[in-house]
């Protein structure tokens, strides 16, 4: 009942790409998700967690692709919600590392993590994912104070039912 199936996403068409650091695990393009998700539903898996692989050209120091309503995760959320309604829950990682050119979860200045500035980005990323239909947000960034700020922002913007899951549980 508590199992969450991770799905690793990649841009393109009709691709299934091996992840070298995780033998037997693959990234899938959106057009290859249906059989995967249908099998999860058939096996009564209640939720999938989406993890994007972002092209280098879409990464930058600020991780602004995280705020793009047409990024890979947002496209996947819309597709799954449209196709499967609420037959399966959708969880999204909240962090900047898939989108930053330096690979860190936080914004950096002179190699120092800018906690408060990062939290503002994470709030915006959370709001976008909630607007797309994400059921559970799972912040993994480790910025101090981000959970309370994300919760306040979700509630203020009408997303009281969007849950936040501790990374320790995830």
| Given the residues 15, 75, 81, 170, the one annotated as active site | 170
Give the SS3 label for residue 153: helix
Closest CA to 4 of 44, 48, 38, 42: 48
State which H helix or E strand residue 5 sits in. Answer: strand 4-10
Cβ pair 68, 47 in contact under 8 A: no
* E strands, 23-169, in order: 26-28, 47-53, 89-94, 108-109, 112-113, 136-139, 163-164
For 141, the token pair is 């960034």
Contact 77, 62 (CB under 8 A): no
Told to judge if 170 belongs to the known catalytic residues of this protein, a careful annotator would answer yes
Rounded CA separation 45/142 (Å) = 28
Catalytic residues: 170
């Amino acid at each position: 009942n508590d199992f969450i199936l991770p799905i690793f996403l990649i841009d393109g068409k009709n691709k299934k790409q091996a992840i070298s650091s995780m033998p037997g695990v693959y990234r899938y393009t959106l057009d290859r998700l249906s059989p995967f998700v249908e099998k999860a539903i058939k096996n009564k898996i209640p939720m999938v967690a989406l993890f994007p692989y972002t092209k280098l050209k879409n990464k930058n120091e600020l991780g602004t692709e995280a705020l793009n309503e047409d990024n890979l995760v947002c496209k996947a959320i819309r597709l799954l919600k449209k196709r499967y309604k609420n037959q399966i829950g959708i969880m999204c990682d909240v962090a900047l590392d898939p989108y930053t050119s330096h690979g860190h979860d936080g914004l950096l200045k002179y190699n120092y993590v800018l906690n408060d500035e990062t939290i503002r980005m994470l709030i915006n990323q959370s709001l976008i994912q909630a607007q797309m239909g994400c059921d559970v947000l799972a912040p993994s960034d480790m910025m101090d104070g981000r959970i309370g700020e994300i919760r306040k922002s979700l509630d203020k913007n009408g997303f009281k039912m969007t849950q936040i899951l501790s990374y320790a549980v995830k």
